[in-house]
């Protein structure tokens, strides 16, 4: 097959074949990071705009480095420096970027669907770097890549996603990618954060980490946001940690080869203890390395196709 | 424009002789003491590199065969109707000690060879890079010329030259024009 999309908006849109295509491309770009010359000329002469209307350091840095490694010219725009704060609409800002001949726009926005909105209106390729509680496709891809790299397969792997599922774009992207590739996914957390409706996505639901922990091949712990506590979704971080935190005692009940994942930034002592984050099960830094390779692959693929539409 | 049926430029036996011409040329250039790495350019160059390695071995010249994918180094990104899958690159770890022979099935504009040179240089600084092509069909757009050529038929500019290899392509082995 060939890759024919100019945009990456969600993993729900993609077929299993397309997801595997990106994962295979990622493996080659990971190899580029091990060469003496870590830069390839694929996007030479192209302009990549990182347009972050919501704060982010690690995702933006990862996309920035990915663009640089592909030889694109990279510009970063943060919400506070853009005219959005002066009342310009999102599409006007983006059309201005396109008038400056941006070939690829990486968008992080608090509104679900913002990337799709831009993608439908611009010739440039649009990469969703997180849109509200909708999706964060490159995070889902890097998580699946890390699982496949470490365990050799995705099909049949038992993955537990723990925490704030309700508001998590990371969870949604992971669920779509994992179920399409045949993993068995269980969502774990308090009923307020793991609503029953998620079962429709073809996943299991558990409100007890202790019940399912020993059966999991992968434990992916999501960041708990303090705003949720204020809104009453759970009583306090101490109680959350005692029920759903992966501490050293719980980690002893993991399968020997089980992986512990976290999209970062970690709240040590809340979602997981420091000893577990730094311990033998942890692949958290692999996720960071793989994130760069995934983003290079996605920019390479979508950048090639968006150039085609202009030609 | 009428569609011409594919015409055969070389059958399996003539393809094998062209491979022998390449092997003879390489053998006269390499002294058997240098480390020789045959880097095939996907897709068909990879199989040709393996065959060439076998032919050189029969002449007492040891070599290794691998592949160099050039997709990331092309200058026509986004002009080809979708993006094809990347192929694995296999080059020696200590590239600086090796003579690298780029192996391709058809040389046309020279852009593929240029990209392959850049791709190899990203991995290190080989002692030498040579270019061996089975069919030089002419039509160069860059000053990149093969060091060794198996055959150089007269071909009109608009024609497509295809190499079919047993074990990789359907139908009989040979060189075809359409």
Smallest CA–CA distance, residue B75 to chain A, in Å, is 8
State the helix-helix crossing angle for B12-29 and B44-58, rounded to 10 degrees. Answer: 60
Compute φ and ψ for B8, nearest 5 degrees: -90, 125
User: For the sheet containing B7-10, what is the strand order?
Assistant: B7-10, B174-177, B161-164
Q: Which of A108, A61, A117, A119 is nearest to A89 (CA)?
A: A117
The ipTM (two decimal places) reads: 0.84
CB contact under 8 A, B88 and A306: no
For position A37, what pLDDT does the model report? Answer: 86
* pLDDT (tens digit per residue) in A104-126: 999 999 999 999 999 999 999 99
Q: Which of B178, B174, B177, B169 is nearest to B153 (CA)?
A: B177
Q: Give residues with Cβ within 8 angstroms of B42, minimum separation 6.
A: B67, B69, B70, B87
Size of interface A-B (CB pairs under 8 A): 67
Smallest CA–CA distance, residue B79 to chain A, in Å, is 5
For position B134, what pLDDT does the model report? Answer: 98
Task: Compare CB distances from B78 to A21, A36, A307 and report the shortest one's residue.
Answer: A307
Mean pLDDT of B106-124: 95
Closest residue in B to A304 (Cα) is B78
pLDDT bin (cut points 50, 70, 90) of residue B82 is confident
CB contact under 8 A, A305 and B78: yes
CB contact under 8 A, A37 and B123: yes
Q: CA-to-CA distance for B65 and B47, rounded, in angstroms?
A: 9
For position A311, what pLDDT does the model report? Answer: 42
How far CA A256 is from CA of A144, A151, A251, in Å, comes to 20, 12, 10
Tokens of B112: 């593929």
* pLDDT at residue B2 tops 80: no
Q: CA-to-CA distance for A84 and A62, rounded, in angstroms?
A: 24
Q: What is the DSSP letter of A311?
A: -
* A90-103 residues labelled b (16+ CB within 10 A) or e (exposed): beebbeebbeeebb
Chain A residues within an 8 Å CB radius of B123:
35-37
Catalytic residue among A38, A39, A44, A58: A58
DSSP assignment of B11-65 equals -HHHHHHHHHHHHHHHHHH--SSSEEEEEEPTTHHHHHHHHHHHHHHHTT---EE
Give chain A's length: 311
CB contact under 8 A, A40 and B72: yes
Q: Does B94 touch chain A (CB under 8 A)?
A: no
Cβ atoms of A259 and A217 within 8 Å: the answer is yes
Cβ atoms of A166 and A194 within 8 Å: the answer is yes
Q: Which of B123, B119, B128, B125 is nearest to B101 (CA)?
A: B128
Place of tokens 């099935």: B105
Q: CA-to-CA distance for A243 and A24, rounded, in angstroms?
A: 38
Provide the 10 A C-beta neighbour count for residue B5: 6
Q: Does B98 touch chain A (CB under 8 A)?
A: no
Kindly report the average pLDDT of chain B as a whole number. Answer: 93
Q: Which of A246, A239, A248, A238 is nearest to A161 (CA)?
A: A246
For position A35, what pLDDT does the model report? Answer: 85
Q: Which residues of chain A have pLDDT under 70?
A: 80-87, 308-311
For position B78, what pLDDT does the model report? Answer: 63
Q: Give residues with Cβ within 8 angstroms of A112, minimum separation 6.
A: A131, A132, A133, A134
* pLDDT (tens digit per residue) in B14-45: 999 999 999 999 999 998 788 999 999 999 99
Provide the 10 A C-beta neighbour count for residue B69: 23
Mean pLDDT of B38-56: 97
pTM: 0.92
Compute φ and ψ for B116, nearest 5 degrees: -65, -40
Closest residue in A to B94 (Cα) is A36
For position A310, what pLDDT does the model report? Answer: 47
Cβ atoms of A184 and A204 within 8 Å: the answer is yes
User: Would the CA dihedral through A241, A245, A249, A250 be positive or negative?
Assistant: positive
Chain B residues within an 8 Å CB radius of A42:
71-74, 77
């Amino acid at each position: 097959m060939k890759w024919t999309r100019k945009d990456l908006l969600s993993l729900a849109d993609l077929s299993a074949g397309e997801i595997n295509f990106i994962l295979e491309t990622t493996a080659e770009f990971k190899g580029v990071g091990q060469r003496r010359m870590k830069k390839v000329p694929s996007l030479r002469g192209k302009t990549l705009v990182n347009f972050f209307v919501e704060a982010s350091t690690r995702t933006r840095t990862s996309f920035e480095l990915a663009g640089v490694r592909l030889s694109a010219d990279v510009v970063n725009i943060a919400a506070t420096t853009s005219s959005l704060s002066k009342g310009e609409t999102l599409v006007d800002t983006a059309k201005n970027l396109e008038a400056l001949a941006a070939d690829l726009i990486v968008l992080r926005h608090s509104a679900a669907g913002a990337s799709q909105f831009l993608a439908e209106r611009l010739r440039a390729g649009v990469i969703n770097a997180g849109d509200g509680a909708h999706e964060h496709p490159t995070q889902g891809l890097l998580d699946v890549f890390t699982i496949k790299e470490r365990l050799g397969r995705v099909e049949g792997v038992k993955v537990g996603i723990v925490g704030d599922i309700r508001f998590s774009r990371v969870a949604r992207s992971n669920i779509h990618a994992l179920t399409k590739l045949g993993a068995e996914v269980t969502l774990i957390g308090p009923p307020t954060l793991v609503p029953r409706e998620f079962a429709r996505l073809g996943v299991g639901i558990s409100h007890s980490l202790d019940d399912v922990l020993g059966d999991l091949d992968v434990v992916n712990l999501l960041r708990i946001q303090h705003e949720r506590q204020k809104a009453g979704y759970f009583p306090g971080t101490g109680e959350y940690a005692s029920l759903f935190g992966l501490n050293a005692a719980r980690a002893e009940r993991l399968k020997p080869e089980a992986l512990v994942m976290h999209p970062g930034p970690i709240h040590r002592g809340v979602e997981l203890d420091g000893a577990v984050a730094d311990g033998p099960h942890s692949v958290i830094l692999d996720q960071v390395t793989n994130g760069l390779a995934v983003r290079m692959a996605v920019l390479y693929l979508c950048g090639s196709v968006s150039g085609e539409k202009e030609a | 424009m009428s569609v011409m049926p594919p015409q055969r430029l070389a059958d399996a036996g003539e393809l094998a002789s062209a491979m022998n011409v390449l092997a003879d040329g390489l053998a006269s250039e390499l002294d058997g003491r240098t480390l020789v790495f045959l880097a095939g350019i996907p897709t068909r160059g990879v199989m040709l590199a393996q065959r060439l390695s076998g032919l050189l071995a029969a002449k007492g010249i040891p070599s290794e065969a691998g592949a160099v994918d050039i997709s990331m180094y092309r200058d026509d990104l986004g002009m080809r109707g979708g993006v094809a899958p990347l192929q694995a690159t296999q080059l020696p770890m200590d590239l600086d000690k090796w003579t690298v022979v780029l192996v391709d099935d058809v040389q046309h504009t020279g852009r593929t060879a240029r990209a392959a040179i850049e791709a190899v240089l990203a991995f290190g600084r080989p002692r030498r890079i040579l270019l061996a092509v089975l069919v030089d069909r002419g039509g160069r757009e860059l000053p990149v010329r093969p060091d060794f050529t198996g055959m150089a038929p007269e071909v009109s500019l608009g024609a497509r030259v295809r190499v079919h290899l047993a074990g990789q392509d359907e139908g009989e082995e040979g060189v075809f024009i359409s």
